[in-house]
């Protein structure tokens, strides 16, 4: 089994699922027990400022349009927040995934984001995508996803509406040229 932590799952064009259609999912954890990831290109109608207001955090920061997006991280526990961010800071519940990416689930990072103390780069999601033992591997066999090593630029800097296409371009393909048929030798 190839460990896909710190990889992107790129949804194949034939995937017609409300959470995953044309999605790019950052895999945070992958083991024999299953996988956990966050969709990084499906913004919801809730802004960061609105989220902070809902959880009673005063905010003094002004956000760019891209920074102000909250994403549907996946269909599991969509009332739970996750922040992918550049390393740094001393948050209560944080784990460094790579030298360039950390994940934090504690409220203190949201307080920092609202008050000009945010990490240099960040992405806020509600919910996550989860796969049980063997489920992701079967979906890969079924031609549901393409995989590539994660790219910090796509994760944080590429405009939201271009992330799916740009991730596929990293492989050297045009996603619209792909077939949903599985080849057999």
Please say whether the beta carbons of 116 and 61 come within 8 A: yes
Residue 52 lies in a domain: yes
Q: How many CA atoms lie within 13 A of 5 on its CB side?
A: 14
Q: What pLDDT sits at residue 184?
A: 45
- Residue 21: inside a domain, yes or no? yes
> What CA–CA distances, in Å, run from 172 to 45, 79, 123?
32, 36, 26
Specify if 93 maps to a domain. no
Predicted confidence pLDDT, tens digits, the chain (185 residues): 689 999 999 999 888 888 899 999 999 999 999 999 999 999 999 989 899 989 988 887 677 666 688 999 999 999 899 999 999 888 889 999 999 999 999 999 999 988 888 899 999 999 999 999 999 999 999 999 999 999 999 999 999 999 999 999 999 887 766 655 555 44
Question: What CATH number is attached to the domain comprising 149?
Answer: 3.40.1740.10
What is the count of structural domains for the chain?
Answer: 1
Whole-model pTM: value is 0.91
């Amino acid at each position: 089994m190839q460990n896909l932590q710190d990889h992107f799952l790129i949804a194949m064009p034939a995937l017609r699922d409300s959470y995953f259609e044309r999605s790019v999912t950052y895999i945070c954890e992958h083991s024999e027990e299953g996988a956990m990831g966050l969709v990084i290109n499906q913004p919801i109608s809730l802004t960061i400022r609105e989220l902070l207001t809902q959880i009673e955090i005063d905010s003094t920061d002004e956000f760019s349009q891209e920074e102000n997006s909250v994403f549907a991280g996946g269909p599991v526990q969509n009332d739970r927040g996750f922040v992918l961010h550049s390393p740094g800071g001393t948050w209560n519940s944080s784990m460094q995934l790579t030298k360039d990416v950390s994940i934090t689930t504690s409220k203190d990072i949201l307080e920092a984001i609202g008050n000009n103390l945010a990490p240099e780069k960040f992405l806020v999601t509600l919910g996550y995508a989860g796969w049980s033992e063997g489920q992701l591997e079967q979906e890969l066999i079924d031609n549901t996803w393409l995989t590539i090593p994660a790219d910090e630029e796509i994760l944080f800097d590429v405009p939201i509406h271009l992330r799916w296409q740009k991730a596929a371009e990293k492989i050297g393909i045009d996603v619209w040229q792909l077939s949903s048929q599985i080849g057999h030798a």
